[in-house]
Every structure is written in structure tokens, then in C-alpha cells.
Amino acid sequence: MANVWLFVLLALACGQGAAIIAEGGLFAPVRALIRRFSPLLGDGISCRTCVATWAGLTLALSARFADVQPGVVAWFIDGLALALAGRTLSSLPDVFLAIRNRLE
């Protein structure tokens, strides 16, 4: 059962991390710099699905081969997962409003 929760936690962290890198304002200068040198890599780092794939592989490898203990890594993963959950919950009213408008 612990493996299921670790998977869920890593999936949430992966989704939030990919959103920050691919769409966040903090990484906009990095994306622009990469795009200037390589349009292909620039497109890849601006794609949430692409970033999530590589982040997911990295997180899966680190969780599989490293002994993840409470500390900085666990705190970071927990933080990303909580941020994603918070963002998801905060967007629910907009989702329900869109559904209601579509049904009218």
C-alpha cells in the first residue's frame, strides 16, 4: 500500500513541477534562452506533457534507487503535490461554472 501512496505523491509532484517549468513565469527566461539556441528543445521545455514525462522518469528513478527519507527531497515532493492539489481544488468552481453554462 505504501508503494501506491508513493506513486500518487510522485505523480502529483510531477504534474506540479511540469506546470511550473513549462508554463510558469519563473522559468520564462530559461525557456526563451533555450528556444533561442535550439527551437526543438525550446518547444520541448514549453510542453507540459514533455516536461512531465522526463520529470516523471527522473522522479521514478530517484524514488526507486535512492532511499528517500524525510528531509529536503521529501519536503520538496510534498510541497509540489500540495501545490497541485491546491491549484486543482481552487479551479473546481470554474469547472462547475463552465459545466453549468454549457448545460444552459
- Residue 10's pLDDT is 74
User: What pLDDT is stored for residue 37 in this prediction?
Assistant: 93
Q: Give 93-103 pLDDT, tens digit per residue.
A: 778 888 888 88
What pLDDT does 32 receive?
Answer: 94
Residues 26-57: tens digit of each pLDDT: 999 999 999 999 999 999 898 887 888 777 77
* 77: its cell numbers: 515532493
The mean pLDDT value for 78-100 works out to 72
